[in-house]
Amino acid sequence: MKRRLASVIIGAACIAAAAPATAATVLSWDSTDIGQTQNADFIGLVDGAVTAGLTASIDYTLQSIVGNDWTFGYSVQNTSSAPITASRVSVFGFDVTPDILTSASTGVYDDFTANGNVPQIGFREACYSQVNCAGGGGAGALIGQTLGGTFTLTFAAAQDDLSLENLFVRYQSIDAPTLGIQGGSGTGIPGNGGGVIPEPGTWMMMIVGFGAVGTMVRSARRRKYAIA
């Protein structure tokens, strides 16, 4: 009995360890990272479903740290492609760790920190748009367009490092005739739009796990037949 239980535990552990994680993208800088750029690619969702061709990319560059203020350059690119025939990236934003006091921005996207409710996303600590966090007004990066500027995050005290988490974009004016979408809207979350392919070591762990569970099942069947 103990051996069978051990097999089940080992098998479950191997399968669990082998399962690919889908952790959210977190971008981190420390105070020595002036000039460092990090990127997030986004996949688009309409009505909660991943929508082919609806994509975007944002570069975030730490430009300066002055007192409690961390200033970043941003570059928002709408990379949408077929079957998407039209879209615009109207809003982008994120949460910050540690929490910020205020945020300000320059360039194409204005700061709407105090109005951080985003449809299908919920509240975000910082969001940037030309209108508000829900978008609208015909603003944002069109397909193939890149728009940029800066945003400054202000903390209650000087910080040694920070992280941008729960990143998102908002898409509007989405047209995709072959998908039955016209004038639609959606959200974007970090990702590459594809499935996660396990590495060779992960495949081996999965094989061991399923093998251990299979052995336990076959043993149980043999006992059942013997009793019968």
CATH of the domain at 123: 2.60.40
Judge whether 5 lies within some domain.
no
Classify residue 101 by its DSSP letter: S
Q: Are 167 and 39 in contact (CB under 8 A)?
A: no
Considering the entire predicted model, what is its pTM? 0.75
Check residue 212 and give its pLDDT: 53
- 8 pLDDT more than 50: no
Beta strand ranges found along the chain (DSSP E): 27-30, 37-46, 49-66, 69-78, 86-97, 102-107, 110-111, 117-118, 122-123, 126-129, 141-142, 146-154, 161-176, 181-190
Whole-number Cα distances in Å, 19 to 85, 137, 203, 204:
36, 43, 9, 12
| Collapsed DSSP state (helix, strand, coil) of residue 149 | strand
Classify residue 195 by its DSSP letter: P
Check residue 216 and give its pLDDT: 55
Percent of the chain residues topping a pLDDT of 70: 73
Judge whether 205 lies within some domain.
no
Nearest to 166 by CA among 94, 225, 75: 94
Tens-digit pLDDT profile for residues 150-175: 999 999 999 999 999 999 999 999 99
Q: What whole-number distance in Å separates Cα of residue 54 and Cα of residue 89? A: 10
Tens-digit pLDDT profile for residues 58-85: 999 999 999 999 999 999 999 999 999 9
Domain count, the chain: 1
Judge whether 81 lies within some domain.
yes
Nearest to 134 by CA among 166, 96, 171: 171
User: Whole domain around residue 109: which residue ranges?
Assistant: 49-168
- 193 pLDDT more than 50: no
Check residue 25 and give its pLDDT: 87
Nearest to 141 by CA among 50, 48, 55, 45: 55
Identify the weakest region by mean pLDDT among 61-65, 93-97, 98-102, 114-118: 114-118
For residue 195, what are its two tokens? 């499935």
Nearest to 68 by CA among 139, 156, 143: 156
**Banded pLDDT at 211 (limits 50, 70, 90):** low
- 5 pLDDT more than 90: no
